[in-house]
Structure 1
Amino acid sequence: MSAADLTPGAIMRLATCPDDDEAFNSGVVLQALSVKSIGKESENTPKPGTTDRLRIILSDGEWFMQAMLATQLNDLEIPKNAIVRLTRASRNIVQNRRLVIVLGLEILAKCTEKLKRDPNNAAQPAGKPSPAPAAPRTTSTPQLPAQPHRDSKNTAPNGRSCYPIEGLSPYQNNWTIKARVTQKSDIRKWSNQRGEGRLFNVTLMDETGEIRATGFNQAVDELFDKFEEGKVYYVSKARVNLAKKKFSTVNNDYELSLERTTEVEPCLETTDVPTIKYSFVKLDQLQDVAKDATCDVIGVVKEVSDLSEITTKTTNRTMKKRELTLVDDTGFSVRVTLWGNTAENYNEEGNPVIAFKGAKVGDFGGRSLSMMMNSTMSVNPDNTEAFHLRGWFDDDGKTAQFASHTAGGSTGGGRGFDHNDERSLTEIKNAQLGMSDKVDYFSVRTTVMHIKDNNFAYPACRNPGCNKKVLENAPGEWRCEKCNVTHTSPDYRYMLQLAVADLHGQAWFQGFNDAGQVIFNMSANELMAMKEQGDDDGVLRAFARANYQAFNFNCRAKADTWNDETRVRYGILSVAPVDYVKEAELMRERLQSDWAA
């Protein structure tokens, strides 16, 4: 279908006609640009059967309008950009605004792009310009009062109605958006074969979505000081381009290019512009988030490292960094790295609640987080999650023990051995655990058959939470490039590869420091001291004691590709010696239960 199939003038008629006009029941054909939940902290895709009120943005190819779906239509799955017919509608007062309420709707066809009606009635999809376009017409979002006059709250100082961010595309101009600055970067310098320059970017958000805006060179001088994070502005006369996804994590197909002529004016009426929207991931679920993906997290700052400086290998530049240890009520902690001015200016006292938006997920030695240039950090935000964490930490969290996201797991918490989901090694392989996009977890009781005795430990930095490998520059001088410090001796940490077997099969497991301490019943420092002192017999005895011992393992399975070959790696999350008395009691309970009947 094309824009010619949409009912011309339908949006303006629905917005301005009397409440008893036949337009509400005449079956006008429109395009549904999006359907989203109303009043949520995060932009979750609405699910069928939900009781949330849903907002729909409708278009006739020329004008856009917000409307509300009646709750009886919540079960209807409306794809983005679908062509629909309104079979029944009405108008009602919602939050002091007269909104169109959609009572009946039919989905006629799916569409992959926004449709735009050409001024000369040559209908075409938005995104495919005509060979000889006529002078563009001003498009905007008509307001919804009973009489067709402008609502001052949604009218910019230039007299134009505010345009929704979600409706922006390269084929509209003369628009004005009313948006909140949710993120503002520092001024950064760049250089390449074509020369040098400066740039900055901001993320703008209204109730329909968000968009990234970037200013270069002269635009930096004109506009950088006009934007302030958290405030609302009217923005116009910027260029709309296709988004460069490798530079942005903002969920929008387009981005704005700020120019010297771009107009930015403060807005004092901000009640209808939402604050930052989050989609929080709990800290215990970070293992399920892919490496290099971005996510939103919130937690209480448990520890703060000193400000340090590192030199990057690629650019040979020095960068300031600081690490925070974040905890939440799942019993997990995670290390979050701040960079540059953010790290240098961090001076929060006590244990503040901090929300991070768009933090990058790393996986060296487990899961960690790092702020990027598009990430935002909000201290003690005004939302439900922050209030809950504040109360939890003040009551219980201060004295709680937390499991870290190290690759070796934590023997003191986190995912434990699950007797109800215990599997054999053959069952694990037959189920192809780890071969999907998600990480799979399993519990298995198995026996250690062999531990590789070469490179079973590595020298690590002694700073708490670092664990990076250090290099010996001279006797008694171990250098950590990450922390930019020198230690007189390293802190050795296990890095094990062990062959395990049960009655049904065998596999290779990988384990790190916490797992090694349980398996060897001694620290890596103790074992390395034997090796360095020439006590080869003591090292052999330690390995011999660990071999042929049974343990309860809780592991993660994840596919890894190297040289075009994909294989599954099994990483140990936690390990514990088999308690045969407890296992016997569990077996007796099973034999006396319905399971044995």
Structure 2
Amino acid sequence: MDKLQPGQLFKLCQPNPIYPSTIYLQAHQSKTLPDPNGERLRLMLNDGQYSINGIFKPSPEKPHLDNFLRYSVLEITNYEITPTAHGKVFIVIDDAKVISQGEKKSKNFEMVDKVVDITAIGGGPATDNASASKTTTNTTTTANKPKPATSSSSSSKPKHKVVDNLYSIDQLSPYQNNWTIKARVSYKGDIRTWHNQRGEGKLFNVNLLDETGEIRATGFNANVDKFYDLLQENQVYYISKCSMQMAKPKFSNLSHQYELGFDRDTVIEPVDSDDVGDVPQIHFDFVKLDQVQNLQAGAIIDVIGVLKEVHECREIVAKSTGKPFDRRDITIVDDSHFAVSIGLWNKQAKEFDLDVGTVLAIKSGKINEFNGSKSVSLMTSSMINKDPDLPEAYKLKGWFDNSGFKEDFKALKGSLDGGFDLNSKDAILSRKTIQQVNDERLGYNEKPDFFNLKATISFIKTDNFSYPACQSSDCNRKVLEQSDGTWRCEKCDKNYEKPKHRYILTISVVDTTGQLWLTLFDDHAQQLIGMTADELIAFKESDHDNKLKKFVNENISFNEFGFRIKGRLDSYQGVDRARFQVSGLSKIDYSVEADALCEVLGKVSVN
């Protein structure tokens, strides 16, 4: 701690200060942030008297601070002190090392930005006599003149384009007029049109990313024609002279409180590859395809895989609005030996034209679950990168070209318990009776109702329990027999020698309060029956119906199960009725049942 110079931060935040080539600060708080170059640290630093917000920026040469712990004392040799438009002062550290492990101080350090005039910070770079021959360190001069676009940390680096008034995204606010940002397009949406009483028009959105955050930008009408083709995903641009307004959380999931608008004065220039500097790449947090089935429906994930199948684009009509949409399904695979169906929509679906074998990195896909199978669907904020320059992509490409192209892949299944532990105490204590289901009219609401039920199977329909389905691992569509004896799938546009039968099993369940009809689709029906639909058909045909009825009565009927039920409203010939689908199934664990019952009884007071 002897290296610390109390009060030094105060001196460095004065007009026209002398910036020593080396300063010493203690990190008394830290938080690790994601960064493609390594371990970015958000720090709270002190000089023994004052404290300041800090950021350590990793680089390929120095991806992290070796031996860094809380209360470490840092020797900082390349730094920059800069105010923000929000009244804070930051020290941005490009190079530092840990020289000692300091002691915890009970003293509360005063924030330096509370005791200095941040509008007067800086005055231009300067050095002391001892460091005149060493690397100089740039700072900003005022809150309205942020850091220059280039770094002077190495005289051997090529000279880059110098841009005046270069701001970081987190500094942007309506209080600045003359600013430029250097940002990467992390997302680019389709052109959309609107028509209302005030007229009609078109718009598009992009998300812009730099090392400090992301901000949304929108172009309307003439600016769509002007900028849409210029702005490309994953490319870096200088952008200036945009309008600025408060962000609308309804239309964006970004955290920035403002958003940009492209107008007639907006200037957008591509950044030369030599000038990209520390603008981060788009960050992915990939989930292996075999793990997708373990995640909840609705989760937003990043996945990477090799394109295995491309289905035809088709038009579907939304039931709620009657509006038509274009839809295309593609299949990606990875070396976990699983295949995942990816749903594309509208322009992306119509224009998709990539070859099988292309590596696709998908950002922000949404997990869907339907009839016991899981898939991933792209949203308006999702993004596809083809053949990305990533280690994961090169590994998958090599695997697929060598052996993956000829493998058989497993399809994703939904979680058989509906993502819900049906034998947990919480699940047991939250069960409904069949009478409660009827009294509360579950399944008659606008949105589906989910509930837990313990019931005994009283009857299974064995006359019509399956349908002939497509053989493809990611397609559950019904196939039709052709005149030549083959079976055709219209979705896949293929003919198969035989179908793969899938369950639609109807059962009756009872409890002490009533009776309910339930439907089980393929995965849950297999779990209940213990064999596939094809196997059950063969079993039935081997001895007419006698063998099947005996099997059902002896092994399934009159057994008690825990069910997770999805109830939804259906209309048939103008009559509304509730339909109940099994989304989770489990045998009863009577030891847990007893514990849960004891817990309930323990809360009963006896007068």
Q: TM-score, normalised by structure 1?
A: 0.61
Q: Show CA shifts across 1:411-463 (max 9, x none).
A: xxxx9xxxxxxxxx99x33375999xxxxxxxxxxx99656439984758648
The residue that corresponds to 1:54 in the other structure is: 41
Give the residue type in structure 1 aligned to 2:382: S
Q: Distance in 2 between matches of 1:323 and 1:298?
A: 16
Assess if the C-alpha contact under 8 Å between 2:539 and 2:548 holds in 1: no
Question: SS at the partner of 1:313?
Answer: coil
Structure 1 position 315, deviation (Å)? 4.6
Corresponding letter in the other structure for 2:584? G
Deviation at 1:544, TM superposition (A): 2.7
Q: What one-letter code is carried by the residue in structure 1 that aligns with 2:378? A: M
Counterpart mapping for 1:148-163 below 5 A: 153=160, 155-156=162-163, 159-160=164-165, 162-163=166-167
Deviation at 1:181, TM superposition (A): 1.8
Q: CA deviation at 1:381?
A: 1.2
Structure 1 residues 18 and 109: alpha-carbon distance in aligned structure 2, compared to 1, 3 A threshold: closer
Return the match for 1:513 from 512, 522, 530. Answer: 522
* Structure 2 counterparts to residues 49-88 of structure 1, below 5 A: 52=39, 54=41, 66-68=55-57, 71=65, 74-76=68-70
CA distance in 2, matches of 1:343, 1:325: 13
Deviation for aligned residue 1:40: 4.4
- The answer as to 2:235 corresponding to 1:222 is no
Match of 1:99 among 82, 94, 99: 94
Give 1:430's match in structure 2, choosing from 425, 436, 440: 425
How far the C-alpha of 1:320 sits from its partner, in A, is 2.6
Distance (whole Å) between structure 2 residues aligned to residue 92 and residue 108 of structure 1? 28
Q: Any unmatched runs of 5+ in structure 2? A: 1-6, 47-51, 59-63, 81-91, 121-141, 431-454, 481-486, 510-516, 570-580, 588-607
1:199–1:321 Cα change, 3 Å: same
The one-character-per-residue Cα deviations of 1:111-166 (angstroms, maximum 9, x if unpaired) are 9xx99999889xxxxxxxxxxxxxx962423676479xx9964732xx22x32223
| Higher radius of gyration, 1 or 2 | 2
**3-state SS, counterpart of residue 179 of structure 1:** strand
* CA shift for structure 1 position 349: 2.4
Letter aligned with residue 247 of structure 2: A
Question: What is the CA–CA distance in structure 2 between the aligned matches of 1:262 and 1:408, rounded to whole Å?
Answer: 50
Rate the CA distance shift 1:333–1:252 in 2: closer, same or farther, 3 A: farther
Per the alignment, residue 18 of structure 1 pairs with 20
One-letter code aligned to 1:91: T
Q: Report the counterpart of residue 304 of structure 1 in structure 2.
A: 310
Deviations 1:286-340 (A, max 9, x none): 2344433321100122222122222333454433322111222223221101122
How far apart are the structure 1 equivalents of 2:545 and 2:247? 61
The aligned residue for residue 571 of structure 1 is: 584
TM-score (norm 2): 0.60
> 1:286 aligned to 292, 317, 342, which one?
292
| Equivalent residue, structure 1, for 2:236 | 232
SS in structure 2 at match of 1:191:
strand
Could you say which residue in structure 1 is the equivalent of 2:265? 261
Aligned to 1:209: 213
The residue type paired with residue 369 of structure 1 is: V
Using the TM superposition, give the Cα deviation of residue 482 of structure 1 relative to its aligned residue in structure 2, in angstroms: 8.3
Given residue 41 of structure 2, which amino acid in structure 1 is its aligned partner?
Answer: L
Which AA in structure 1 matches 2:461? D
**Structure 1, unpaired ranges of 5+:** 42-51, 78-85, 122-135, 416-424, 436-446, 472-477, 501-507, 575-597
* 1:99–1:492 distance in 2 versus 1, CA, 3 Å: closer
Contact 1:327 1:402 in 2 (8 A): yes
Q: CA RMSD in A?
A: 5.8
Q: Are residues 406 and 321 of structure 1, via their aligned partners in 2, closer, same or farther at CA, if it must alter by over 3 Å?
A: same
Counterpart Cα distance in 2 of 1:244 and 1:470: 46
Q: Relative to structure 1, is the Cα distance of residues 11 and 209 closer, same or farther in structure 2, using a 3 angstrom cutoff?
A: farther
Alignment of 1:104-123 (within 5 A): none
Q: Cα–Cα, structure 1 residues 560 and 530, in superposed 2: closer, same or farther, change >3 Å? A: closer
When residues 167 and 230 of structure 1 are mapped into structure 2, their CA distance, relative to the original with a 3 A threshold, is same
For residues 273-297 of structure 1, the C-alpha deviation after alignment (integer angstroms, 9 at most, x for no partner) is: 3332211112222234443332110
Taking a change above 3 Å as real, the CA distance of residues 167 and 333 of structure 1, as seen in their structure-2 partners, is farther
1:171 and 1:285, CA in 2 relative to 1: closer, same or farther beyond 3 A? farther
Change (3 A) 1:392 1:225: closer
How far the C-alpha of 1:183 sits from its partner, in A, is: 2.6
| Corresponding residue for residue 124 of structure 1 | none
Aligned equivalents of 2:105 and 2:468: distance in 1? 63
* TM-superposed deviation, 1:193: 5.2
In structure 1, how many angstroms separate the alpha carbons of the residues matched to 2:35 and 2:429? 37
**Inter-partner Cα distance in structure 2 for 1:434 and 1:326:** 41
Call closer, same or farther: CA 1:217–1:348 in 2, change over 3 Å: closer
Is the counterpart of residue 383 in structure 1 residue 390 in structure 2?
yes
**Which letter maps to 2:400?**
F
Using a 3 Å threshold, how does the CA distance of structure 1 residues 492 and 74 change in structure 2: closer, same or farther? Answer: same
1:494 to 489, 500, 503: 503
2:185 to 171, 181, 184: 181
CA distance in 2 between partners of 1:257 and 1:396 (Å): 49
Q: Which residue of 1 aligns with 2:349?
A: 343
Inter-partner Cα distance in structure 1 for 2:21 and 2:552: 84
Once the 2 structures are TM-superposed, how far is the Cα of residue 546 of structure 1 from its aligned partner?
A: 4.6
Separation in 1, partners of 2:331, 2:14: 54
Contact 2:185-2:207 at 8 Å conserved across structures: yes
CA distance, structure 1, for counterparts of residue 40 and residue 118 of structure 2: 35
Alignment-derived partner of residue 168 in structure 1:
172
SS at match of 1:330: coil
* TM alignment of 1:299-448, pairs within 5 A: 299-365=305-371, 366-407=373-414, 428-430=423-425
| SS of match in other structure, 1:372 | strand
Structure 1 residues 320 and 57 mapped into 2: Cα distance closer, same or farther (>3 Å)?
A: farther
Distance 1:363 1:18 in 2: 60
Structure 2: distance between partners of 1:359 and 1:273: 24
Mapped partners of 1:16, 1:314: distance in 2: 67
Question: Among 136, 141, 146, which residue is 1:140 paired with?
Answer: 146
Aligned partners of 2:261 and 2:97: how far apart in 1? 36
Distance 2:547 2:217 in 1: 63
Q: Could you tell me whether the CA contact under 8 Å between 2:304 and 2:334 is conserved in 1?
A: yes
User: Kindly tell me: are residues 455 and 375 of structure 1, through their superposed partners in 2, closer, same or farther at Cα, counting changes over 3 Å?
Assistant: farther
CA displacement at 1:355 relative to structure 2: 0.6
CA spacing shift, 1:463–1:522, aligned 2, 3 Å? closer
Paired residues in the alignment total 473
State how far apart, in whole Å, the 2-side matches of 1:352 and 1:377 are: 12
For each residue in 1:534-575, what CA deviation from the matched residue of structure 2 results, as whole angstroms up to 9, or x when unmatched?
A: x88687456336526999x9x9x9898999xxxx9873599x
CA–CA distance in 2 between the matches of 1:116 and 1:458? 76
Q: CA deviation at 1:107?
A: 10
Distance between the aligned counterparts of 1:12 and 1:28, measured in 2?
A: 22
Which residue number in structure 2 is paired with residue 90 of structure 1?
A: 76
Query: C-alpha displacement at 1:178, in angstroms?
Result: 0.7
Deviations 1:191-250 (A, max 9, x none): 345543211011222233333211122332332233123321101222344433443344
1:453 corresponding residue in structure 2 = 461
Closer/same/farther in 2, CA of residues 462 and 239 from structure 1, 3 Å limit: same
